[in-house]
């Protein structure tokens, strides 16, 4: 069942004392293999990861989405009974989907942002009825203006919004999700203050050494999570 749900599990002698299920897009794969010490608790925090490439926060309400992310998340939840769930979504929305809708369908960016937030927070509230939820802020965009090489950059080349505008939208999205989490007594990890460089764009240290990879550098991202997560 775990394998069918796309979860990479741990068991036997290597199993951590605490386990959390991670639901997210391709950026959530950063949690794979992580074992984090938990302050004041023997053992470690480990993670089962359901990472769905291309998953969007806005697509969670669409049963016919191309990624079938919600269906796969539901399968993962059914397969993993642990009470702690970590959610990491939004980069695809703020870096591409919202802008693409504005250009092709005339939907104002802020209206699309509000709808995306409504869908995402509704999903989080649904999870919180039966699990302890911790939301991780969406990674800041890394694809440079005019970059058309690399699979993801090529797919997103139609979006004309600058890196600065995409970054500002991501910060707005993360800020709104953080406020919702605070009001709803959910766990939340806001990595934005630690991810911004002096130019108000993503810090160079977080960029992948592979110019074709739009994900954060794995080691740097894991260091952020280790330093600022609730397991400290």
- The predicted pLDDT at position 151 comes to 52
> Does pLDDT of 91 surpass 70?
yes
- The predicted pLDDT at position 169 comes to 96
| Structural domains counted in the chain | 1
Q: Mean pLDDT over all residues of the chain?
A: 86
Mean predicted confidence (pLDDT) in 1-22: 50
Question: Cβ–Cβ contacts within 10 Å for residue 8, how many?
Answer: 16
Least-confidence region, from 23-27, 75-79, 190-194, 212-216: 212-216
With respect to residue 200, please indicate whether it lies within any of the assigned structural domains. yes
Chain centroid to Cα 182, Å, comes to: 18
C-alpha to C-alpha distance for 26 and 94, rounded to whole angstroms? 15
Least-confidence region, from 2-6, 106-110, 201-205, 215-219: 2-6
pTM of the complete model: 0.87
Higher pLDDT, 226 or 173: 173
C-alpha to C-alpha distance for 121 and 127, rounded to whole angstroms? 10
> Does pLDDT of 16 surpass 90?
no
Question: Cβ–Cβ contacts within 10 Å for residue 120, how many?
Answer: 25
* DSSP codes of every residue in 85-135: EEEE--HHIIIIIHHHHHHHH---HHHHHHHHHHHHHHHHHHHHTTSEEEE
With respect to residue 142, please indicate whether it lies within any of the assigned structural domains. yes
> Does pLDDT of 165 surpass 60?
yes
- The predicted pLDDT at position 21 comes to 97
Using a pLDDT cut of 70, give the percent of the chain over it: 84
- The predicted pLDDT at position 175 comes to 98
Least-confidence region, from 33-37, 47-51, 84-88, 221-225: 33-37
With respect to residue 149, please indicate whether it lies within any of the assigned structural domains. yes
Chain centroid to Cα 48, Å, comes to: 15
- The predicted pLDDT at position 210 comes to 87
Mean predicted confidence (pLDDT) in 85-113: 94
With respect to residue 2, please indicate whether it lies within any of the assigned structural domains. no
With respect to residue 1, please indicate whether it lies within any of the assigned structural domains. no
With respect to residue 165, please indicate whether it lies within any of the assigned structural domains. yes
Strand blocks (E) in the chain: 7-8, 18-24, 35-38, 41-51, 84-88, 132-136, 187-189
> Does pLDDT of 3 surpass 60?
no
Helix-strand-coil split of the chain, %, nearest 5: 45, 20, 40
With respect to residue 154, please indicate whether it lies within any of the assigned structural domains. yes
Where residue 107 sits, what CATH number does that domain have? 3.40.50.1110
Residue range(s) defining the domain that contains residue 17: 7-228
pLDDT digits (tens, 9 = 90+) for 134-150: 999 999 998 775 555 44
> Does pLDDT of 50 surpass 50?
yes
With respect to residue 80, please indicate whether it lies within any of the assigned structural domains. yes
The answer to whether residues 47 and 20 touch, using CB atoms and an 8 Å cutoff, is yes
């Amino acid at each position: 069942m775990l394998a069918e749900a796309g979860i990479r599990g741990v068991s036997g002698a290597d199993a951590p004392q605490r386990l959390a299920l991670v639901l997210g897009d391709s950026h959530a794969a950063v949690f794979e293999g992580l074992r984090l010490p938990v302050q004041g608790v023997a053992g470690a925090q480990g993670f089962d990861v359901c990472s769905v490439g291309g998953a969007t926060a806005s697509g969670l309400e669409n049963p016919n989405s191309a990624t079938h992310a919600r269906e796969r998340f539901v399968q993962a939840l059914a397969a993993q009974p642990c009470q702690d769930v970590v959610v990491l979504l939004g980069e695809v929305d703020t870096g591409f989907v919202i802008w693409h809708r504005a250009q092709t369908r005339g939907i104002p960016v802020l209206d699309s942002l509000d709808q995306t937030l409504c869908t995402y927070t509704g999903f989080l509230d649904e999870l919180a009825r039966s699990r302890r939820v911790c939301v991780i802020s969406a990674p800041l965009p890394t694809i440079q203006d005019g970059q058309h090489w690399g699979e993801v950059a090529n797919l997103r080349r139609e979006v004309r919004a600058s890196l600065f505008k995409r970054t500002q939208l991501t910060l707005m999205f993360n800020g709104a999700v953080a406020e919702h989490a605070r009001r709803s007594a959910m766990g939340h990890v806001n990595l934005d203050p630690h991810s911004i460089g002096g130019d108000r764009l993503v810090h160079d240290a977080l960029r992948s050494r592979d110019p074709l990879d739009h994900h954060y550098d794995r080691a740097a991202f894991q260091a952020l999570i280790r330093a600022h997560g609730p397991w400290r």
